[in-house]
Amino acid sequence: MPEAMLHLLLDQNVPHVGADWLRAQRPLWTVQHVNDLGFAGRPDEFLYRWALDNTAIVVTYDEDFADVRFYRIGKPHGVVRLRVWPTTEEKTIDALSRLLDQLPPEEWLGRLIIIDNQKIRVRLIA
């Protein structure tokens, strides 16, 4: 079965190198960073709505995106919540690498994925 083609939106709190790294690892995916889209400083609700409208999975360090009750405008296509510390470029890429290695992309859709320094937790978005 071919790998799912995903559309990812990386929040401004995710180091830009994470977007570059993901593009190199998965060149067929659409990986966009908030800063590249000119959305730096835009409120989370704007980004959430943009992700909904563009069928994008949000990758963020922000815990607000992990709580779907926070935004009552629709169910997200998926959220990857990074909880690694420190929030360095190296730790971010390590977390994303573990995600690519451990969870098939088709299992990212409709799920909240929380990655900390030790493990990856996955649950369906209600």
- Mind listing the pLDDT tens digit of every residue in the chain (126 residues)? 456 799 999 999 999 999 999 999 999 999 999 999 999 999 988 998 999 999 999 999 998 876 666 555 567 789 999 999 999 999 999 999 999 999 999 999 999 999 999 999 999 987
Q: What is the pLDDT of residue 47?
A: 92
The 3-class secondary structure across 6-40, one letter per residue, is: CEEEECCCCCHHHHHHHHHHCCCCEEEECCCCCCC
Q: Which CATH class is domain 7-124?
A: alpha beta
Q: What is the pLDDT of residue 125?
A: 84
Domains of the chain: which residue ranges? 7-124
